[in-house]
């Protein structure tokens, strides 16, 4: 996100436009917590994780009267447009603000879940994925040495994008994730038994936190009760949300930040940016209401084939 902030500010500066940073997202809009941002404010932030503007949930944004006052506050302050970095909640809030009050809004996809419609990639996904893979590579050493089963829980309450891609990248023996129809607990037992019969004496199972089976701890309880297996559970948790961003995330954040400002300056009013087949694309903000993408089924199948 800091790469996108930096690029937006410096592109605006190049076009002679003033920029304000809104702190804590929509909560900052409600409280008028915004301050000038210049190119110098964005020095030395490219390599930092998180966001220098901070973030917060804002339940008050659901209220029409609150949005109306915030829109008027923006107009009174001479703010011509917003650049919103976030996921489906942030984009939905921007789409409503534009539709109800005509505030031009540009969205930059920022969510580690990589689950926004109309884009192959979101900011943070590549960084979170690499963080998970690096952690599991280390866990694999212990699993092999002790001939033990590890259940590793990654983020993804409603999306298995991190889980499925992590499973492929780290050579996991199995993966469980929310959207899967045929990859439940019983299928996991079958996979683990087949691996044991082929001579495997250690296994890594990647579990998305939102999996229907109940997450890594619940699955471990079932496996101990039903099959008396010796295993360990590792929950990576919020370690996936921090750390220095990968080069890919920095590059796309920079591209999207600059492009958002250029399109707003050219008169576009309600859009979000994305990537399709490696090309930068623009989508109408209204598309945020489209169904979320699921992990490609062929990836889940590939993970099973490669685990043999």
Strand runs (DSSP E) across 129-202, as ranges?
Answer: 149-154, 174-176
What is the reported pTM? Answer: 0.93
pLDDT in tens, 193-216: 888 888 778 899 999 999 888 899
- CATH code: domain 2-124+245-289 is 3.40.50.450
Label residue 307 by pLDDT band (50, 70, 90): confident
Q: Which residues are catalytic?
A: 113
Q: So what's the pLDDT on residue 304?
A: 81
For the chain, give every residue range classified as CATH 3.40.50.450: 2-124+245-289
Strands of the sheet with 279-284, listed across from one edge: 82-86, 105-109, 270-276, 279-284
What is the location of CATH 3.40.50.460 in the chain? 128-242
Residue 182 has pLDDT above 70, yes or no: no
Question: What separation in angstroms does the CA of 291 have from each of 39, 116, 117, 129, 279?
Answer: 37, 9, 7, 23, 22
pLDDT band at 183 (very low <50, low <70, confident <90, very high): low
Separation of first and last alpha carbons in the chain: 38
Which CATH fold topology does 128-242 show? Rossmann fold (3.40.50)
Per-residue pLDDT of 252-301, as tens digits, reads: 999 999 999 999 999 999 999 999 999 999 999 999 999 999 898 899 88
């Amino acid at each position: 996100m800091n790469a996108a902030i930096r690029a937006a500010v410096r592109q605006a500066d190049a076009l002679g436009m003033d920029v304000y940073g809104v702190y804590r997202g929509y909560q900052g809009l409600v409280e008028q917590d915004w301050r000038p941002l210049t190119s110098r404010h964005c020095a030395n932030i490219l390599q930092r994780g998180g966001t220098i503007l901070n973030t917060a949930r804002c339940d008050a944004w659901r209220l029409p009267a609150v949005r109306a006052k915030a829109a008027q506050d923006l107009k009174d302050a001479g703010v011509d447009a917003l650049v919103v970095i976030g996921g489906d909640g942030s984009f939905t809030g921007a789409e409503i603000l534009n539709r109800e009050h005509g505030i031009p809004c540009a969205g930059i996809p920022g969510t580690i879940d990589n689950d926004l419609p109309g884009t192959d990639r979101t900011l943070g996904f590549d960084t979170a994925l690499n963080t998970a893979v690096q952690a599991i590579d280390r866990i694999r050493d212990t699993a092999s040495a002790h001939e033990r089963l590890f259940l590793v829980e990654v983020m993804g309450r409603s999306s298995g994008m991190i889980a499925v891609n992590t499973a492929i990248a780290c050579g996991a023996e199995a993966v469980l994730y929310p959207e899967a129809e045929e990859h439940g607990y019983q299928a996991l037992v079958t996979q683990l038994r087949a691996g044991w019969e082929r001579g495997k004496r250690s296994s890594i199972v990647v579990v998305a936190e939102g999996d229907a089976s109940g997450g890594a701890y619940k699955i471990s309880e079932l496996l101990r009760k039903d099959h008396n297996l010796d295993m360990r559970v590792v929950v990576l948790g919020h370690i996936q949300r921090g750390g220095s961003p990968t080069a890919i995330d920095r590059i796309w954040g920079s591209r999207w930040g600059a492009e958002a400002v250029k399109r707003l300056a050219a008169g576009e009013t309600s859009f979000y940016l994305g990537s399709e087949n490696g090309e930068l694309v623009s989508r109408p903000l209204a598309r945020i209401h489209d169904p979320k993408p699921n992990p490609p089924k062929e990836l889940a199948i590939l993970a099973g084939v490669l685990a043999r």
